[in-house]
Amino acid sequence: MATSQMLLNLVVLAVIVGGITFYLSNRPPSPKAKTTLVIDLGGHLVEQSAPRTDSLITSSLLHQNDPGDIELRDILDSLKAASKDPNIDRVLLKTDGLQVSGLAILREVAAALDRFRAAGKPVIAWADHYDQRQYYLAAHADRIYLDPLGQVLFQGFGHYRNYYRDALDRLGIKVNFIRVGTFKSFGEPFIANGPSPASLEADTTLYNALWSNFTHDIENARHQPQGTIDQEITQLPETLKAVQGNAAQLALNQHWVDSLVTPDELNTLLEINGHKDPKDKEFRQISLDDYTSRLPAPAAGPSIAVVVAEGEIHDGDTTAGTIGGVTTAQLIRSAREDDDIKALVLRIDSPGGSAHASELIRRELALTRAAGKPVIVSMGNVAASGGYWLSLAADEVVADPDTVTGSIGVFALIPTADGLMNKAGIHTGGMTTTWLSDADNLLRPLDPRLTQVLQTTVGHLYQDFIQRTASARHLTPAAVDAVAQGRVWTGEQALAFHLVDRLGHFQDALDSAQMRAHLDGHGTVHYYDPNPSGWQRWLALFDQSLSGNILSRMIEEALLPSHTPLGAVTQQLQNQENPLSTLLTPLLRGTTEFTPLTHCFCQAP
């Protein structure tokens, strides 16, 4: 037995040594003169990558396409370094694979491209087609190229939701939606067949403001008259007909692109103006990943800590991609207890979640301020409901003009399935010592006394939310209540209501932290992440539990393919973007948690 264990250890050690050797031998060389930094945005732009080792391997084994994540910090850091790197003379921006991303994170990348151009280095954009988000970034390039068979497509903002009231009635499922806030619309899809007037009013105000900012930015970047995009959408049937359906020619005629260029023609252009690499027979280039991997690690000494709060807020421990009350609070505590950390920036991209977890995190931020370390909140795509709660212990709140924020309100959402059980001929019975003993039985109607308890609890939390906001923002409770009620606002609107301190980018928050900590711009930036280190991720490949997970996923795919009716239903219920998943999961498990939530059913368009 001991010999077998020793042999196994030797095999693992050999694999590790081989991996180290492979990594060192394949590390990209330093860029030579006239190198183009190629930023290929093939994936999701995120604040913080979630650990996905098993899903990536499974996707590879099952030949599935997984675009992956691109962290904002990698783009910002690489563009900042490249602007000072004498061997990087330009950027090639490729946006074809860019997935849906919020407006605030797009604005961060656009600002970084502008700073790179301000250093006297050009940005060139190319795509086989541009949707409106991809084009938002391309508009910040010196030259925009489009494939001759491509298009530039502007569509506008807004969306339709599905409403499940009739379907749930037929199933015999009743949804008890207990809320405080006229505009707190998270539960409406389960209790109505369409949006309420309040929900429509809030959405109309929000999306019109976001669309106005979005089109204004593009039109300014391309030196187009204001209103050009709206006019083009209105006239699209006629203008497209005039060019016999040639969408690329239409984009050229409208001056959205500078030239129609095929991929090989693009390579020729870049070779002429750059330096041809004889080895690859293309222009000399380095990818974003390779360039990022060569950036030096942050230096020791006085530093600014950055904690990313991205995703929904849950109680307990979580990994990156969601916010755990315990996990995120511990990261903040670790930064506070580090003597080298002189200030902290909390970067928020969250629609909210658990009120208890939100308060746990806010409390750690308050303790950090009390310890004499400034706390700056930087709002990204969304900082609403519980995401806004997190900002209430900051010295300064910096929001993007298009941050979706506010949604100060609380609710509880509880489905009961007594009607479904009656239809199925299933009945319950028994005794309890108190009425509360079996109150969490989802197969019985909700006891009116429990409804009253929950309404009182939700009402108390709402008043607590109002009072905390009023104290943090130096407002009266009445003034906060007037703009609360669960309603969402843009960053610009929130500034007008004094819910944030100023508008700006992530870099503005870092600059403020440097100033408040009296570092005079000399402090380095250290990210505190819940993810394991790179080596830990690599070593996890040899963990038996991971292998078992991969195997079980493969078996599941083989036995229950998604194209079967049952497979499709299972896949839908597992999809966290499906609101029915949130509603029906407790019913499927037979349990529920009566947890008041500060969550916004909102999304950055």
pLDDT for residue 572 is more than 50: no
Q: What are the pLDDT digits (tens) for 41-59?
A: 988 999 998 765 444 444 4
Cβ(181)–Cβ(388) below 8 Å? no
The domain of 350 spans: 303-528
Which residue, 288, 476, 297, 472, is CA-closest to 389? 472
Mean pLDDT in residue range 508-536: 84
pLDDT for residue 544 is more than 60: no
Please give the Cα distance from 382 to 399 (Å, whole number): 10
Q: What are the pLDDT digits (tens) for 104-119?
A: 999 999 999 999 999 9
Residue 177 lies in a domain: no
Higher pLDDT, 222 or 53: 222
Mean pLDDT in residue range 14-32: 59
For residue 595, what pLDDT band results from cuts at 50, 70 and 90? low
Mean pLDDT in residue range 552-562: 40
- pLDDT averaged over the chain? 85
For residue 553, what pLDDT band results from cuts at 50, 70 and 90? very low
Residue 241 lies in a domain: yes
Task: Please state the domain count of the chain.
Answer: 2
pLDDT for residue 337 is more than 90: yes
The question of whether 385 is a catalytic residue gets the answer yes
Q: What are the pLDDT digits (tens) for 156-175?
A: 998 888 999 999 899 898 88
Per-residue pLDDT at 57:
46
pLDDT for residue 532 is more than 70: no
Please give the Cα distance from 428 to 445 (Å, whole number): 11
Mean pLDDT in residue range 343-366: 96
For residue 82, what pLDDT band results from cuts at 50, 70 and 90? very high
Q: What are the pLDDT digits (tens) for 122-151?
A: 999 999 999 999 999 999 999 999 999 999
The question of whether 184 is a catalytic residue gets the answer yes
Lookup: tokens for 407: 């949604």
Residue 166 lies in a domain: no
Per-residue pLDDT at 589:
52
Instruction: Using the 3D structure, point to which of 528, 550, 582 is the last residue of a domain.
Output: 528
pLDDT for residue 425 is more than 70: yes
Residue 425 lies in a domain: yes
Please give the Cα distance from 292 to 286 (Å, whole number): 10
Please give the Cα distance from 324 to 316 (Å, whole number): 5
Question: Of 354, 385, 407, 512, which residue is the catalytic one?
Answer: 385
For residue 195, what pLDDT band results from cuts at 50, 70 and 90? very high
Residue 85 lies in a domain: yes
Lowest pLDDT segment from 68-82, 265-279, 456-470: 265-279
Per-residue pLDDT at 546:
42
Please give the Cα distance from 145 to 124 (Å, whole number): 8
Which residue, 427, 469, 420, 577, is CA-closest to 99? 577
For residue 426, what pLDDT band results from cuts at 50, 70 and 90? confident
Question: Of 121, 174, 184, 342, which residue is the catalytic one?
Answer: 184
Per-residue pLDDT at 586:
53
Lookup: tokens for 21: 């050797």
Task: Kindly report the pTM of this predicted structure.
Answer: 0.84
pLDDT for residue 21 is more than 90: no
Higher pLDDT, 19 or 290: 290
Please give the Cα distance from 399 to 282 (Å, whole number): 42
Per-residue pLDDT at 89:
95
Co-location of 263 and 333 in the same domain: no
pLDDT for residue 391 is more than 90: yes
Residue 399 lies in a domain: yes
Q: Containing H/E element for 478?
A: helix 477-483
Co-location of 272 and 316 in the same domain: no
Query: CB neighbours of 99 closer than 8 A, spacing ≥ 6?
Result: 43, 44, 45, 67
Here the CATH number for the domain that contains residue 123 is: 3.90.226.10
Which residue, 210, 188, 212, is CA-closest to 199? 188
Per-residue pLDDT at 536:
43
Per-residue pLDDT at 594:
57
- Provide the CA 350 distance to its chain's centre, in angstroms: 7
Co-location of 24 and 68 in the same domain: yes
> Is the four-CA dihedral 366, 525, 378, 318 of positive or negative sign?
negative
Residue 210 lies in a domain: yes
Instruction: Using the 3D structure, point to which of 497, 528, 559 is the last residue of a domain.
Output: 528
